[in-house]
Amino acid sequence: YMGSRAYNGFAIYSPTQDDESPRRLTLMGELRQAIDRGQFMLYHQPKIDIASGRVIGSEALIRWYHGRDGFIPPEEFVGLAERTRMIRPLTLWVLEHAFNDCAGLHRLGFDWTVSINLSARDLHDPEFPDLVAGMMARTGIQPDWVMLEITESSIMADPVRVLNVLERIHSMGFHFSIDDFGTGYSSLAYLKKLPVSELKIDKSFVMDMPRSESDGVIVRATVELGHNLGLKVTAEGVEDAESLRILRSIGCDTAQGYYFSKPRPLNEILAWQQSGLWKASRDSLSEADLR
Ligand code: C2E
Ligand code: MG
Ligand code: MG
Ligand code: MG
């Protein structure tokens, strides 16, 4: 897309060039008004316990419905929000809606964990832990129901500062997950110092597992690494029954992917959970097991 260019087969992202393009400048201005105009929506993608086939919760994923351009993908505007200091209101909007959704589900009797993506700038913001505490008080969420997803690269930029923010939030009772695990520059030495309880294997390794031996090796090794460190392991990007079967044989804990459901509004996810569609994928799980 705009602002990317191919270089030796890799897409190189160049923020400066990006921000100066007329479309970017327009979007930047419109991003500031998006909250007031009610253009953000929170979708959910179910997270499945592989051993039991049960839905244990969901990942909340933001959507921007922009009148002129339809849906703008988060990869296009989350980075923009970070560079223009719009990320704090954006993250607070997501926290408020995800906490409210999850608290509502618990009132309905669902045992549900909501996963929420944080961005690098949130983790470098010394006021962020207090903002999270305030949102917790306003929404009645229990921190135990929340998994906050962070990436390796957002930690490694300034590990000491980030660790301080993470520890303050962790001491309130929130859990952390390392998202897109395996794609960033990380240090295994830091992994044991961080208050994390889950590794989330990046979808680039999971999607092609049935066809790629090396991806299978990476996923298996990551599950082992996580378990040996006492962490739960989730695979994102599960697109077919075969991937699920492999994950089950490896002992991976939880799965997320288009095979179950793409991200959708919460009411649609709940309808899906109670529908035959959900049962079909659960049955194919046990079928795969018999093979
Ligand atoms: P992520 O946190 O790694 O989220 C997973 C992405 O993979 C989502 O894209 C999801 O729709 C997609 N996905 C899920 N299952 C499959 C599958 O089986 N196959 C394939 N090909 N893709 C799958 P989405 O919603 O477009 O989000 C992209 C990224 O934008 C997220 O990656 C996350 O880094 C960021 N993002 C999304 N929502 C938020 C948010 O509320 N706050 C922040 N800070 N970042 C967000
Ligand atoms: Mg995520
Ligand atoms: Mg991810
Ligand atoms: Mg990702």
Reported as a pLDDT band with limits 50, 70 and 90, residue 290 is: very low
ipTM surpassing 0.90: yes
85-133 pLDDT, tens per residue? 899 999 999 999 999 999 999 999 999 999 999 999 999 999 999 999 9
pTM of the model: 0.91
Instruction: Please report the pLDDT score of residue 281 as a whole number.
Output: 57
How confident is the model at residue 71, as a pLDDT? 94
Tokens 């929420």 locate to 116
Q: Which two tokens stand for residue 24?
A: 């970017």
- Of all ligands present, the nearest one to the C-alpha of 208 is 1
Nearest-CA residue for atom 41 of ligand 1: 62
In this structure, which ligand is nearest to the CA of 47?
1
| Residues within a 6 A CB radius of ligand 1 | 45, 61-62, 73-75, 78, 94, 117-119, 149, 179-180, 203, 207, 236-239, 256-258, 263
Q: How far is the CA of 233 from the centre of ligand 1 (A)?
A: 17
Question: Which tokens belong to 58?
Answer: 């969901």
Give the single-character DSSP code of 73: P
User: What residues pair up with 57 in beta bridges, in sequence order?
Assistant: 47, 113
Q: What's the whole-number mean pLDDT along residues 230-250?
A: 97
What's residue 97's pLDDT? 98
Ligand 2 centroid from CA 168, angstroms: 21
The residue-averaged pLDDT of 146-170 equals: 95
CA 17 remoteness from chain centre: 27
pLDDT range class, residue 21, cuts 50, 70, 90: confident
